[in-house]
Amino acid sequence: MKKPSNPFITAGYQGARYFCDREIETKSLLQNMTNGLSTTLIAIRRIGKTGLIRHVLAKLPAGYTSVYIDILPTENMNEFLNVLASAVINSIPQRTGPGKMIMDLIKSLRPVITYDPLTGIPQVTIDVRKGEAPKHIDSIFKYLEKFPKKIVIAIDEFQQILEYPEKNTDAWLRSSIQTLKNVTFIFSGSRQHLMDDLFSDPSRPFYRSTSLLNIGKINPEKYSAFIIRHFKNNGIKIEKEIVAEMLEWTDIHTYYVQLLCNKVFAESGNQVTSRTWRMEANRLLEEQELLFLKYRDLLTKQQWRLLKAIAREGQVYSPSSKDFVSKYSLGSPATVLRSLEALLKKQMIYSDYDKDKRVFYKVYDLLLRRWLEEQYQLT
Ligand SMILES: Nc1ncnc2c1ncn2[C@@H]1O[C@H](COP(=O)(O)OP(=O)(O)OP(=O)(O)O)[C@@H](O)[C@H]1O
Ligand SMILES: [Mg+2]
Q: What DSSP line would sit under 97-148, residue for residue?
A: HHHHHHHHHHHHT--EEEE-TTT--EEEE--PPTT-HHHHHHHHHHHHHTSS
| 19 pLDDT more than 60 | yes
| 268 pLDDT more than 80 | no
Contacts with 200 (C-beta within 8 Å, 6 or more apart), sequence order: 207, 212
**Surrounding residues of ion ligand 2, Cβ less than 5 A:** 49-50
CATH number of 299-379: 1.10.10.10
Confidence of residue 274 (pLDDT cuts 50, 70, 90): very high
Supply angle C-alpha 226, 279, 281, rounded to 5.
60
pLDDT at 208: 82
Nearest of 208, 65, 27 to residue 150 by alpha carbon: 65
The CA 23 to ligand 1 mean position distance, Å, reads 15
User: How does DSSP classify residue 316?
Assistant: B
pLDDT at 218: 97
Q: For the chain, where are the alpha helices, taking DSSP H only?
A: 23-34, 49-58, 77-91, 97-108, 133-145, 169-177, 192-200, 220-233, 240-249, 254-267, 274-298, 301-313, 322-327, 333-345, 366-378
Q: Which fold has domain 219-298?
A: Helicase, Ruva Protein; domain 3 (1.10.8)
The CA 103 to ligand 1 mean position distance, Å, reads 32
Q: Which CATH class is domain 21-214?
A: alpha beta
Encoded amino acid at 205, one letter: P
Beta bridge partners of 66: 152
As annotated, the residues of the chain forming the CATH 3.40.50.300 domain(s) are: 21-214
Cα separation of 281 and 202, whole Å?
Answer: 44
Nearest of 105, 60, 68, 64 to residue 84 by alpha carbon: 68
| Average pLDDT over every residue of 64-70 | 96
| Average pLDDT over every residue of 264-269 | 90
Pocket lining: 19 vs ligand 1, CB cutoff 6 Å: yes
pLDDT at 1: 64
Q: Which SS3 state, helix, strand or coil, does residue 182 take?
A: coil
| Average pLDDT over every residue of 84-105 | 85
pLDDT at 105: 86
Pocket lining: 190 vs ligand 1, CB cutoff 6 Å: yes
| 25 pLDDT more than 90 | yes
Cβ-in-10-Å burial (0-12, 13-18, 19+) of 254 comes to buried
Supply angle C-alpha 39, 31, 192, rounded to 5.
25
User: Which ligand neighbours the alpha carbon of 253 most closely?
Assistant: 1
pTM over 0.75: yes
End-to-end CA distance of the chain: 49
Confidence of residue 378 (pLDDT cuts 50, 70, 90): low
pLDDT at 309: 96
Confidence of residue 55 (pLDDT cuts 50, 70, 90): very high
| Average pLDDT over every residue of 47-66 | 96
Residue nearest to atom 5 of ligand 1 (CA): 19
| 119 pLDDT more than 90 | no
Supply angle C-alpha 101, 105, 106, rounded to 5.
120
| 21 pLDDT more than 90 | yes
Confidence of residue 73 (pLDDT cuts 50, 70, 90): very high
User: Which ligand neighbours the alpha carbon of 262 most closely?
Assistant: 1
The CA 52 to ligand 2 mean position distance, Å, reads 9
Backbone angles phi, psi at 47, to 5 degrees: -95, -15
Question: In whole angstroms, what separates CA 336 from the centre of its chain?
Answer: 29
Q: Which SS3 state, helix, strand or coil, does residue 159 take?
A: helix
As annotated, the residues of the chain forming the CATH 1.10.8.60 domain(s) are: 219-298
The CA 68 to ligand 2 mean position distance, Å, reads 12
Q: Report the atom number in ligand 1 closest to the C-alpha of 10.
A: 29
Pocket lining: 20 vs ligand 1, CB cutoff 6 Å: yes
180-233 confidence digits (pLDDT tens) = 999 999 999 987 778 888 888 889 888 888 999 989 999 999 999 999 999 999
Q: Which SS3 state, helix, strand or coil, does residue 185 take?
A: strand
Residue nearest to atom 19 of ligand 1 (CA): 48
Residue 252 CA neighbour count, 13 Å, CB half: 13
Pocket lining: 54 vs ligand 1, CB cutoff 6 Å: no
Cα separation of 188 and 190, whole Å?
Answer: 7
pLDDT at 379: 57
By residue count, the chain amounts to 379
| Average pLDDT over every residue of 312-333 | 95
